[in-house]
Amino acid sequence: MPAFVVSQGPVSDDRMLNRYPLWKYLLIIAVAILGFVYAVPNLYPPDDAVQISGSSSGMTVDEKVLKKVEQALDNAGISYFSAEQDGSSAKLRFNDGEAQLHGKSVIAETLGSDYVVALNQAPTTPDWLVSMGGAPMKLGLDLRGGVHFLLEVDTDSAIKKRQETSADEMKDKLRDARIRYSSVEVESTTIIAEFRETELRDAALRELRGEYPQMLFNTDLPNDTADVAFHAVLSDAAVREIEQYALGQNLTTLRKRVNELGVSEPIVQSQGRNRIIVQLPGVQDTAEAKRVIGKTANLEFRLEAAPDALAAAKERFDYQGRLAWLERKVILTGDHVANATTSLDPDTNTPQVNITLDSLGGTKMNHATRSNIGRRMAVLFIEYKTRMNTEIDAQGEQIEVPEQYTENKVISLATIQGALGVQFRITGLNAPGEASELALMLRSGALAAPMYFVEERTIGPSLGAENIQLGVKSVQWGMGLVLLFMIIYYRLFGVFANIALAVNVLVLVAVMSLLGATLTLPGIAGIVLTVGMAVDANVLIFARIREELKAGASPHTAISAGYDRAFTTILDANLTTLIVAVILYAIGTGPVKGFAVTLSIGILTSMFTAIMGTRALVNLVYGRRKNLKKLWI
């Protein structure tokens, strides 16, 4: 048994067993200090603040705007204790929630609809902490109050629409190639084309295959039709692309809408293939939020009014600073726009925008343009917006009343060069930026795949505050009892374990703050559970030490053996728990993810504090004692 020989050696001078090199102490102290520094921001309660930002990216919020706001607040007799601006946004901090609410309506009234004025919880983290990257943990909706929506994008309808457009194009192509077909139809998401003879079908396939690389053509069909047919479905890659496009388009639209609501720290993100999560902290009016995020922009294609048109038949708009008179009659709306992309005009090498319409849109466009070649056609971009107006109600109190209005903008005015169809382009654009901006607006005005609300949760602010309170209380009690128990049961070693446990919670909070993780109620439960389980490693070690002592080992040997023997057990036990936590994170949504995150971080930090941390303390206290007879365990 060579193992016996090897481990026998150090026993002769077993005092050396429990020494830590200086760097280990320094490392532990450094971790504890870092943990403290990055956990501290959570102790500063946030201020009730109002944030001002421009309603479009070009707007600046400068000293002048701030002066105006401060003037208005002073006039209204609302006290605030700080006002700052950084050119693009400004923040005013108030003494209490009431002043904040009052202040917000005064500011909104003063600045009008050009600015977004939002209630905000401004962190009060001291500058020196901020400069080191310190920030408090974000609170989840269940702790803060607010609304949560899950929207589902109906990607099937987007796919069906694409197939219908393709089917119409195929008909055109077959007609042009003089290949006679009996019918070309779309059933769910499959294009079904029927022919009289096999030769015709094969000719059609030869014609179409190259044109539609993203389509899978299938001729091996069950013989239930009298005619010869082929089926065409989109390849998985193409379906994915359409889904991503529909999702992306809806995400963009939603972000714009949500910004309009003036919520601080909103979350708009995709979940899975076709869902979008929207979380609006602090918002209580679900109806308003739903209405605003449900809105989409629209487009109208209209002809420029002839100079002799009647006043009743034309409407005035601005286009790039000049006057533009458009006909009231709408050729078609954004509902018929399938896509808009940018490319370079091969003739002039200037940027252009390619527009694809659906078949009905193509027909309408063709009818309207073929007799109007040489005239100009405008694209009108229409946005439905909401602004809050302050009114005095019957009781003489100020109330905020939402007002809906539309904003119209001519985004393109171009001369019709020929009869337009399903596909046409807008050329003569000056810069690539202009082209991509135009394409973006066309896309956001085009009909996106429809979205449905599949989940909706509102948490009142009182419930959120109560949840924090309950969570904190259970952490305090739980931790208190565990600390007490450990001291009673393991005496001095219990104190070591308790110090490690406290550092563990500190480091856990610090890591969560640094990662920007969101704290939820189940997350707090995760912290509580971590407190209970983190002592496990210490219990394993201490039980081992006791066992070794009982078996007659010297205190130094017992300590060393206790730590070494327990290590593999701790590693195995924690690794398996970590595996489960990772699975939980992968399958969980929302609050459950929060639990998985705290649990995983807690397992990792507890490995460090419970093993290295307590060992350092043990070594510090007992390591240099020569004639150690008894351990206080």
Partner 1 sequence: MGSTMSSEQAGNKTINFMGAYLPATVLSVVLLIASITALTVNGLKFGLDFTGGAQVEVSFSQPADIPEIRKILNDEGLVNPVAVLFGSDSEVLIRSQGAMSDGGETSLARRLAGVSANAALVSVDRAPRDRGNYAQSLTFSGVSAADINDSVLPAKYFGSIEVSSAGSNVVALTENSLDTAYTDELLDVLAAKTGTDVELRRSEFVGPQIGAELRDEGGLGMLLALAVVMMYVAVRFQFKFSVGAVLALVHDVIIVLGFFALFQIDFDLTVLAAVLAVIGYSLNDTIVVFDRVRENFPRMRKSSPVEVINTSLTQSLERTLITSLTTLLVLMMLFIFGGELISGFALALIVGIVVGTYSSIYVSCNTLMWLRIVKEDLMPPVKEGSEIDEMP
**Residue 597 to residue 584: CA distance in whole angstroms:** 9
Task: Give the nearer residue to partner 1 in terms of CB position, either 228 or 524.
Answer: 524
Count of CA atoms in the C-beta half-sphere (13 A) of 509: 24
> Checking phi first, is residue 410 left (phi over 0); if not, alpha (psi -120 to 50) or beta?
beta
- Nearest-5° Cα angle at 54, 404 to 300: 45
One residue of 521, 559, 611, 631 binding partner 1 per CB under 8 A: 521
Pairing state of beta strands 337-344 and 228-234? unpaired
One residue of 231, 267, 478, 608 binding partner 1 per CB under 8 A: 478
| Residues from 90 through 109 that contact partner 1 (CB under 8 A) | none
Task: Give the nearer residue to partner 1 in terms of CB position, either 10 or 421.
Answer: 10
Cα maximum dimension of the chain: 112
Q: How far is the CB of 431 from partner 1 (least distance, A)?
A: 31
> Checking phi first, is residue 470 left (phi over 0); if not, alpha (psi -120 to 50) or beta?
alpha
- Nearest-5° Cα angle at 614, 608 to 619: 125
Please report where in the chains the tokens 């529909």 appear, as a residue.
Answer: 246
One residue of 270, 286, 341, 366 binding partner 1 per CB under 8 A: 286
Residue (of 619, 601, 633, 618) closest to 504 by Cα position: 601
| Residues from 585 through 624 that contact partner 1 (CB under 8 A) | 586-592, 595-596, 599
Task: Give the nearer residue to partner 1 in terms of CB position, either 519 or 558.
Answer: 558
Interface mask toward partner 1 for 238-277; x: CB under 8 A: ----------------------------------------
AA letter at 365: M
Instruction: Provide Rg for the chain, Cα atoms.
Output: 34
User: Encoding tokens for residue 325?
Assistant: 């008179």
One residue of 106, 511, 528, 597 binding partner 1 per CB under 8 A: 528
One residue of 17, 184, 263, 378 binding partner 1 per CB under 8 A: 17
Q: How far apart are the first and last CA of the chain?
A: 32
User: Encoding tokens for residue 502?
Assistant: 């406290």
Task: Give the nearer residue to partner 1 in terms of CB position, either 267 or 543.
Answer: 543
Residue (of 457, 443, 517) closest to 151 by Cα position: 457
Q: How far is the CB of 21 from partner 1 (least distance, A)?
A: 14
Task: Give the nearer residue to partner 1 in terms of CB position, either 77 or 552.
Answer: 552
Q: How far is the CB of 9 from partner 1 (least distance, A)?
A: 8
AA letter at 34: L
- Residue 629 touches partner 1, criterion: CB under 8 A: no
26 Cβ contact partners less than 8 Å away, ≥ 6 residues apart? none
DSSP state of 304: B
One residue of 431, 465, 470, 515 binding partner 1 per CB under 8 A: 470
Task: Give the nearer residue to partner 1 in terms of CB position, either 399 or 579.
Answer: 579
Torsional sign, CA 197, 200, 206, 211: negative
| Residues from 416 through 455 that contact partner 1 (CB under 8 A) | 447, 450, 452-455
Task: Give the nearer residue to partner 1 in terms of CB position, either 231 or 387.
Answer: 387
For 494-508, give the secondary structure using H, E and C: HHHHHHHHHHHHHHH
Strand ranges (E), 464-605: 518-519
Task: Give the nearer residue to partner 1 in terms of CB position, either 61 or 521.
Answer: 521
Task: Give the nearer residue to partner 1 in terms of CB position, either 108 or 570.
Answer: 570
User: Encoding tokens for residue 79?
Assistant: 């006290």
One residue of 43, 183, 398, 477 binding partner 1 per CB under 8 A: 477
Task: Give the nearer residue to partner 1 in terms of CB position, either 81 or 485.
Answer: 485
One residue of 173, 291, 376, 425 binding partner 1 per CB under 8 A: 291
| Residues from 327 through 366 that contact partner 1 (CB under 8 A) | 333, 335
| Residues from 120 through 159 that contact partner 1 (CB under 8 A) | 142, 150, 152
SS3 content of the chain, % helix, strand, coil (to 5): 50, 25, 20
User: Encoding tokens for residue 187?
Assistant: 């059933």
Please report where in the chains the tokens 């070494």 appear, as a residue.
Answer: 564
- What is the DSSP secondary-structure string of 400-464? EEEEEEEEEEEEEEEE--S---SEEEE---S-HHHHHHHHHHHHHHS-PPPEEEEEEEEE-HHHH
- Residue 20 touches partner 1, criterion: CB under 8 A: no
Task: Give the nearer residue to partner 1 in terms of CB position, either 235 or 589.
Answer: 589
User: Encoding tokens for residue 303?
Assistant: 């002809």
Q: How far is the CB of 559 from partner 1 (least distance, A)?
A: 12
Q: How far is the CB of 283 from partner 1 (least distance, A)?
A: 13
- What is the DSSP secondary-structure string of 183-215? EEEEETTEEEEEESSHHHHHHHHHHHHTT-TTE
Q: How far is the CB of 241 from partner 1 (least distance, A)?
A: 24
One residue of 213, 371, 551, 626 binding partner 1 per CB under 8 A: 551
Q: Is 629 helix (H, G, I), strand (E, B) or coil?
A: coil
Q: How far is the CB of 537 from partner 1 (least distance, A)?
A: 9
| Residues from 556 through 575 that contact partner 1 (CB under 8 A) | 557-558, 560-561, 564-565, 568-569, 572-575
User: Encoding tokens for residue 468?
Assistant: 């924090």
Interface mask toward partner 1 for 386-415; x: CB under 8 A: ------------------x-x---------
One residue of 66, 502, 539, 628 binding partner 1 per CB under 8 A: 539
Which part of the chain contacts partner 1 (CB under 8 A), choosing from 55-63, 95-103, 164-172, 581-589?
Answer: 581-589
Task: Give the nearer residue to partner 1 in terms of CB position, either 31 or 357.
Answer: 357
Task: Give the nearer residue to partner 1 in terms of CB position, either 231 or 290.
Answer: 290
- Residue 531 touches partner 1, criterion: CB under 8 A: yes
- Residue 81 touches partner 1, criterion: CB under 8 A: no
